Structure 1
């Protein structure tokens, strides 16, 4: 087990200290693991206080929801362990005034006993206290009666409803009634792809095979109602939502809010995939999804998995969900469009009428096809070189680029500038990673540097230099950084010098290739300073840079 902790016995206190350090609107009780709002007025001026809590390990719950518009205090126990009676009582005394307190409690025996006894003691001190129990886990519909179900992620929405009702100035009985109605109306269900590890235990609570999941689990690392095979996200979402909708009696026309909750180890990418499926299913059944949230809102440590909560809403409950809250973990308004907004691509500029290729265009085509053949033949070597210091995809990228050049229509070779432009566009679309943008930018820049008609050797030298400069600008590299520029830059310089000396273009190009070869070979002794190779430092030395060798490969073919 690897965790960023100190002493497991001090973890909860240290976590709460960090929580309060990061949120100036919160304060920490000195003698109890309780987070309270730092802006509470004197007791006589306080609204109904809404408190919640439970075992730690569910972060950002519960302390993350302490703030205006939600909780007034949160009481934290040890990991997956109910806080003691004294801590709960300390939270009530710190947060509540004559208006009283509402305790939102998840339906676990320890929480009900400790919060219940603390409420009784507070009442004995003259403090009005109500309790709302959340039992939203519909996975237990065939196992226990509704009043004995577990409380899971839907608790967060109860916090919001109760906190907004209290902020609106309602008396304790009315705040409790709204919170209780929301808790009784909602349904939640979860699925886990793996277990979590309680710090004090040091090992996972259960084990799953590579292709197994747990359906209908709680939030304390326990097993679910049923173990089954891993299925696509859409299928799992369908099973969870169908169970919720059937249990809650929700059908077409119902207005609902949706909560997609990560259990601690689920990345936002997967939560978005789940949210997409959930919204599609609910809308497909004719339900109106008024609000939706997605994120890790009530976790089970680092457990990979997700739960779904569906809460029926009307205008009044929607107003509570929409009421402002400054609690640091509340995910925002949850407002969504009635359906997915998809915008079509802007119209492409009209294409010019195909032209018959000029001799210059045909010459560029022959050279380009020769370069394509050379890159295809060098695929294995480029892959080997790139694997030594990169991700090994350069050989495949170059062959994809070669295929894209071969596929260009006859009209793409109308003249030299048009041919370079067409190749740049083709490579932009065909090659992923960094090679595509580099070569596309170079070709497009070179195309703009060439005059129409029959370019002179000086024109070609200027165009080649412009393309090389474009690569340097785009990537930020310089000669000596161990990149393709270590071959291209000396080649461009030598080509310009040779044509300035009135050398024939073919001869000047041979000298440029010789300079590129020398530059590419020199990269074997260079320490990389850019790209993936730079992460390896001296370990990348000893073999030439793959990008420089690729540039040399097509340059040699152009002069063949």
Structure 2
């Protein structure tokens, strides 16, 4: 397992040094893995200090939450290991004054023992200390008593509330009281798509099947409460929220805040989909989501998956969450957009509603034949999805197969009455592909079809030669748009030979059927020859010689649909 580290024994210290380097309001205690605020007042003038911590591997927790209005200090243990009592003692003594300190502890045995012992020792020294234990994991509701549940991502919300209360100058008893209210009204639950890898171990802690997930996991790479088959993001979000609602009595009319947390390697794209699902479910239940945040807040190294946290809220707690903080990892106010959809898009343009001549032409046998050909080409592209994806993964971003499939499905979805004339049919196909295919393929194909449509305007029954001219004009339009020429290792390397072969064969007196057969051979040959070409355009050009040896996916896609048209020419 590859890791971007120097020495497994040094990962915690080096991680903290990197974190502090980008957070000017923090500092690192020289002989302990403790991050503190660097703007502390003299001890007699200090407000209540808020401390937390635990094992490392949960970044940006806990060091990322040190700052004015949040944590005063964060104590880091080894990866997934509680910090020592001595490290916690050093933190409390360094940042506390007569106002005392609040320790926010996640409900794990090692954390409770070491933070608890440190609290006892400093109390004997005259430093007032309160402890708030967070046990927000509702996945354990049927497994252990409530007081033995784990503390997971919802702890970050308690950090924020307590830090804001302390910054407001509230006494220790009140700060601790607000933190306990928050912890008591908090529920969290997670889902994992796979394990994580500890730097010192070098292999995953457990292995899941290709279609398996863990439900109700902790934050230390352990397995969940149960294993189940992978299902949709909506279903997973609903499962978690239904469990939390049953446990914490979230219901219609309640005011809540939502935290959507990535476990380490979940991309923002997927977290946003989960956010959408969670908000939709909560709003459907009549639950008012006052604030929501999405991101990686408390991770489990590189674990793929997410957790949701919900907390009942009132005006006082909400004002504390809204209070400013300089903590590097806190994302801001988390305002929810309640007007998420813009006005209806404009109607189709007249170009899409009509042929290029401005009026629909009566359907003809030629148009019906065009539709048969279009459907055959669509089927060929859909069937080639896997092969095109594999080719594009070698030299591109791997999305060509899915793009061509979407294009094929868009063509199949066109109603028969869109095929009103040769020009109208080509325009309809071009506009369908423009809407369906993202990336570069969509504009290229749309441009080609629309140029060919204009070339055949007002021609209800083009001759083979006129079709050849339209084909060549389409290829030229694509070349002009992207700048590609023969030999650049693009779709042009299949299109141009096919168009040239079709035109030449017709000029030589061959039938349309024979001429198109030669176009098919030319397209396939052109696509095959891209194997030896060094790419000069597109993403493949970034690979240089590494792309040589595999044919260009775009050229192969062209040869697929050109071949499919052979039966209808």
TM value normalised by structure 2: 0.78
Tell me the equivalent position of 2:488: 481
Gaps spanning 5+ residues in structure 2: where?
394-399
1:163–1:348 CA distance, 2 compared to 1 (3 A)? same
**Equivalent of 2:447 in 435, 441, 457:** 441
Tell me the equivalent position of 1:50: 50
Task: Write out per-residue CA displacement over residues 238-277 of structure 1, whole angstroms, 9 at most, x where no aligned residue.
Answer: 4433443333344332211122223224343443444344
CA contact 2:70–2:164 (8 Å) conserved in 1 = yes
Which has the larger displacement, 192-201 or 70-79?
A: 192-201
Q: Distance in 1 between matches of 2:86 and 2:152?
A: 24
Give the CA deviation at 1:291: 1.6
Tell me the equivalent position of 2:241: 241
Task: Write out per-residue CA displacement over residues 440-492 of structure 1, whole angstroms, 9 at most, x where no aligned residue.
Answer: 11232455578868999999999777644542354343342122334656899
Task: Write out per-residue CA displacement over residues 93-123 of structure 1, whole angstroms, 9 at most, x where no aligned residue.
Answer: 3333343322211122222222223233334
Counting only pairs closer than 5 Å after superposition, residues 128-527 of structure 1 correspond to structure 2 as: 128-209=128-209, 212-227=212-227, 232-338=232-338, 341=341, 343-349=343-349, 351=353, 355-356=360-361, 389-390=391-392, 393=401, 400=408, 409=417, 412-413=420-421, 418=424, 420-429=426-435, 434-445=440-451, 447=453, 467-486=474-493, 517=522, 520=526, 523=530, 525-527=532-534
CA contact 1:234–1:277 (8 Å) conserved in 2 = yes
CA contact 1:137–1:189 (8 Å) conserved in 2 = yes
User: Secondary structure of 2:548's partner?
Assistant: helix
How many equivalent pairs are there? Answer: 547
1:365–1:320 CA distance, 2 compared to 1 (3 A)? same
Tell me the equivalent position of 1:4: 4
Give the CA deviation at 1:419: 5.6
Tell me the equivalent position of 1:106: 106
Gaps spanning 5+ residues in structure 1: where?
none
CA contact 2:411–2:432 (8 Å) conserved in 1 = no
Tell me the equivalent position of 2:65: 65
CA contact 1:369–1:406 (8 Å) conserved in 2 = no
TM value normalised by structure 1: 0.79
Q: CA RMSD in A?
A: 4.7
CA contact 1:354–1:411 (8 Å) conserved in 2 = no
CA contact 2:379–2:408 (8 Å) conserved in 1 = no
1:108–1:355 CA distance, 2 compared to 1 (3 A)? closer
Task: Write out per-residue CA displacement over residues 310-361 of structure 1, whole angstroms, 9 at most, x where no aligned residue.
Answer: 211110101111112232221322221457646533323464585445xxx9
CA contact 2:161–2:317 (8 Å) conserved in 1 = yes
CA contact 1:43–1:97 (8 Å) conserved in 2 = yes
Say which one has the larger Rg: 1
Q: Distance in 2 between matches of 1:242 and 1:383?
A: 37
1:432–1:330 CA distance, 2 compared to 1 (3 A)? closer
User: Secondary structure of 1:409's partner?
Assistant: helix
1:476–1:33 CA distance, 2 compared to 1 (3 A)? farther
Q: Distance in 1 between matches of 2:468 and 2:334?
A: 58
User: Secondary structure of 1:438's partner?
Assistant: helix
Task: Write out per-residue CA displacement over residues 266-302 of structure 1, whole angstroms, 9 at most, x where no aligned residue.
Answer: 3434434443443333333332221222322112223
Q: Distance in 1 between matches of 2:376 and 2:125?
A: 88
